[in-house]
A and B are shown apart, each in its own frame.
Chain A
Amino acid sequence: MVGVFRWTAMAAAVCVAMALPAGAQGRGGSNRQVVVSAAISLTEVLQQLAPIYQARTGDRVVLNLGSSNTLARQITFGAGVDLFISADEAQMNAVAAQIDPATRVDLLSNQLAIAVPDDRPRVMASARDLLDPAVRRIAIGDPAAVPAGVYARQYLQTIGIWSDLAMKMVPSGSVRLALSAVESGAADAAIVYHTDIATSAHAREALIIPAAGGPRIVYPAALVRAGKNPDGGRRMLAFLRTPDAIAVFTRAGFIAPVPPRN
């Protein structure tokens, strides 16, 4: 649902970007806009970082936030995005033909967590507690493509309880929609990112699935060829890898830089 809004916002952003004559986008590389399509789990942290980047460079950041698969679809269909930050490698691979592969980097990592409504808080010893009959509905990102859902399924398959839980699953269009199902009390639990839960007033963390035993979560970033402002995209990507930006990411609970593959 939010996806529809995002799509509309994106369409509007792209229209604006295309309508602006090159000269109006600023002289000497300043005051230009950088369109960043980013995984929705990065919402708050990027909203925090955008003004800092803006103050340093004069570039205006337009954030197009959505489920990574939605953003990848937009890019496939030619959206004029400068920088794409996906929540998994699969969605970045899906737009391999639209990105500049030389610019692709692994930006961040994260952990999965189980969220529960704050009026029925509980602590879980392991994800196996989801088998409890009191947990009747579990919201996850759509495991067909939404990265958080793909990771969740991967993890539950690894520990051997995916098929037992399949009937309880409510696939959602994005990880934040899964979280909001818990916030409204419509779902008894949601598998989201550890960083999502801190942004919610009505969800509590029942369990963090540690990076060591969980799926390897990687947020790759790359410049998109259809972007109108490749220099700005490059500047933004470089900024996101500075110690200042990494400090903001880390404070929000992300893991940066990405630990090496074992």
Chain B
Amino acid sequence: MNAEIRDIAIFTTLAALAATAVMLVPGVAVAWLLARRQFPGKSLVETIVSLPLVMPPVATGLLLLWLFSRRGPLGALLVRAGIEIVFTPAAVVIAMAVMGLPLLVRTARAGFEQVTRRYEQIAETLGAGPWRVFSTVTLPLAARNILAGAMLGFSRALGEFGATIVVAGSIPGRTRTLAVGIYTFTETGQDQQAAVLLVISVSIAFLAVLASNRLARES
């Protein structure tokens, strides 16, 4: 395995980890809101969060490109602050996080819904404030689902292709991920490189499924 391939594998794993970290707090917050609260526009939030799951990833990528490009609404602000997203490793992380988020939210939400209301109510009658109830009762009881959701999101991030190639491109040593690398190497006739990345992808996927199955069995 040459240095380029090794760097692609390391970069992809780190970017997927970063994406998981980025999506964790907002994802858990949204999951809890959807599971526990009624608010105007709830079904809209529900729908928007799930969109990347059903939209063509390329379309999600195009949306992100529009949003973050120099002429886009967010990109214009960021450029003024000296921050560029498109074609940078940050774009890879954003694409991965957006694509992984629905899986985290859905799984975590199911976890929160399974938490028996009574335990939370008991804690409340014992004088615990909302944050204490959440952090000492709700969160621990939903932890397994949140972990499973995070793993799903991470796995999705690892394999992300469509959104990544649009918004981050395939820049060697900067934004090229496993999935994008397989595509680029195939398109440019570098079959041997593509084959090595393929083997790495299969190995990582194999380990991820093995681990998540074990986690499911233990629960």
List the interface of chain A (C-beta within 8 A of B): 1, 3-5, 67, 69-70, 72-73, 94, 117, 119, 137, 142, 144-146, 169-173, 181, 184-187
Contacts and interface: CB of A to CB of B under 8 A. Distances in A.
Pairs of residues from A and B, 5 with the lowest C-beta to C-beta distance, nearest first: A185-B70, A145-B188, A144-B188, A186-B86, A184-B69
Nearest to A144: B188
A113 B66 CA distance: 25
Nearest to A185: B70
Contacts, number: 67
A181 B65 CA distance: 10
Interface string B127-167: 00000000000000000000000000000000000100110
A142 B184 contact: yes
18 contacts: A1-B61, A1-B162, A4-B58, A5-B58, A69-B189, A73-B189, A94-B189, A117-B70, A137-B87, A142-B188, A144-B189, A145-B187, A145-B188, A169-B171, A171-B171, A184-B65, A184-B66, A185-B70
A51 to B, nearest CB: 29
Contacts of A69: 187-189
B188 A186 contact: no
B71 interface: yes
Contacts of A5: 58
B57 to A, nearest CB: 10
B186 interface: yes
A186 B70 contact: yes
Contacts of A117: 70
Contacts of A70: 187
A185 B71 contact: yes
B58 A119 contact: no
B13 interface: no
Contacts of B186: 73
B190 A171 contact: no
Contacts of A72: 189
Interface string B164-203: 0110011110000000000110111110000000000000
A153 to B, nearest CB: 13
Contacts of A142: 170, 184, 187-188
Nearest to B193: A144
